[in-house]
Amino acid sequence: MSSKAGVAEAFIVKMLDNGARLQGPAVAKYVDLVRRSHPDESPAQIIERLEKQFLLTVTGSGSAAGATAAFPGIGTLAAIGAVGAETAFFFEASALLTLAIASVHGIEPHNHEQRRALVLAVSLGDAGREIVATATGASLRNWPKALTTGAGGTQLKTLNNSLVKKFIRRYFAKRSPLLIGKLVPAGIGAAIGGVGNRALGKRTIQNARDAFGPPPAAWPSARPVLPASGEAPALDAGVPVTKD
C-alpha cells in the first residue's frame, strides 16, 4: 500500500471511529429523546423519524460544504477543509443512525470493536453482510445479532480489518467524485453536494433496513423511556462522542 493510500486509510478510519465510539447509553438517550417527543409511536414510526432527520441533516451539510467554493475570496484549500469536515460529519451521523436503529431493534454492541464492525458492515450493504456472515458463521438474516453476541477477540479484530479494507475501496470508488464535485465554484458545488449526499444518505438508510429487517411490532416492556437528563447526541448539532 502506498504512503498516500495509508494516510487516506488512517483518515477514514479515524472518522469512522469517531462515530463508532458512541457508547450504548448515549445512543439510548438519543432514541429516548425522540420517543419522549412522540410517546405513542411504534418502533417503526420512531425509526422513520430517525431516518428523516438523518437524511435532512446530511443533505444540508453537503450543500453547505459545496457552497464554500462559491464565495469570492474562499480558496480551494478552505473548500477542501469544509468538505473534510462535512465528510467527517456524514460518517458520524451515519454511525449514529446505524446504532440508534440497532438500539430500537434491541441490538446493543458491547464494546468499540463491535460498534465499529456493525457500523462498517451496514455501510457496506450486501458486501458487509457477507463478510460478517462468513467470519461468524451466522446466517445472512441474523448477522447483526450474531456480531454483537458472539464475535470477539482476535476474530473481531480480523473481521474489522477486512471490513475497513473493503470500505476504503468502496469509499474511493463512490465518494471521491462527489467530493471533487463539491469544489466546483459558482454554486454548482452546492447543488452537487446536496444531491450527492441525499443519494448517499438514502443508500445508508436502505442498507440499515436490509441489515436489521422489519422493526419490532412493539416496544419491549423492559425498555422504558429514560428520564430527560444528561446529554444525548443530536444529528442537527453534530455528534458528541463518548470514548471508551
User: Which domain, by its residues, includes 50?
Assistant: 21-212
CB neighbour list of residue 174: distance below 8 Å, 6 or more residues apart: 200
pLDDT at 187: 44
- How far apart, in whole angstroms, are the C-alpha atoms of residue 38 and residue 20? 27
- How far apart, in whole angstroms, are the C-alpha atoms of residue 145 and residue 212? 9
157 and 165 Cβ atoms separated by less than 8 Å: no
pLDDT at 173: 60
Give 135: exposed, middle or buried? Use CB within 10 Å, 0-12, 13-18, 19+. Answer: buried
Is 15 a domain residue? no
Is 219 a domain residue? no
Is 67 a domain residue? yes
Is 60 a domain residue? yes
Number of domains in the chain: 1
pLDDT at 37: 92
Is 55 a domain residue? yes
CB neighbour list of residue 58: distance below 8 Å, 6 or more residues apart: 89, 90, 93, 94, 197, 198, 200, 201
pLDDT at 233: 56
**What type of residue is 73?**
G
Is 237 a domain residue? no
User: Block means of pLDDT (10 residues each) for the chain, length 244 residues?
Assistant: 57 67 78 92 95 84 44 42 59 87 90 87 89 80 80 81 83 55 43 62 92 91 56 47 42
Is 230 a domain residue? no
Is 92 a domain residue? yes
What DSSP element (H or E) covers 147? Answer: helix 143-149
